[in-house]
Structure 1
Amino acid sequence: MADEFMKGFAILTTSMLGWMVIAGWYNTPSFTESQLSGPAPENLQMLDQLALTFKTGLLWFALLGALTFWVLIPAGRELRKAMATE
């Protein structure tokens, strides 16, 4: 059970670290106005748009990865145990 928690925690922390780095690059208007959820700049090049798409993917990977290892896998194992004992 502890290994599932650590796998989910590792996915959550590394993905959110990547999300914060990309959000810091693209969504923070200046040094004194630090906000990670600000609007994206306009006139982006292809690699900038790819980075913002990657940022969204990291957020969903963090949420779904943690949910999978913390809820779905343990629930599936408990369900399998319950089905085997009946």
Structure 2
Amino acid sequence: MGAVTGTVVFFLVWWTTLFAVLPLGVRPDVEGHNTTGGWRGAPLRTRVGRVVLINTLVATVVWVGIEAVVRSDWMSFRHGWWAMGGN
């Protein structure tokens, strides 16, 4: 996988994992205080920096796995049983 393709795949993985990591550790405001805009269910503290850091770590692990599969011959369309019939 080239540098541009790797960067695009990482961005796609990062964006996808964001939706999985975003709700982790969020405590909703059940009373609807003025500190959260008066909305019940709004998070008391967003902790965006922590979410971005955790998301980047998770996305990096997933991306390294994708990179390992792409570089290996395990799922190659050129060799093995996935290969297109050339003969």
Structure with more relative contact order (C-alpha pairs < 8 Å, separation 6 or more): 1
Higher Cα Rg, which structure: 2
TM-score, normalised relative to structure 2: 0.39
Q: Which one has the bigger helix percentage? A: 1
TM-score, normalised relative to structure 1: 0.40
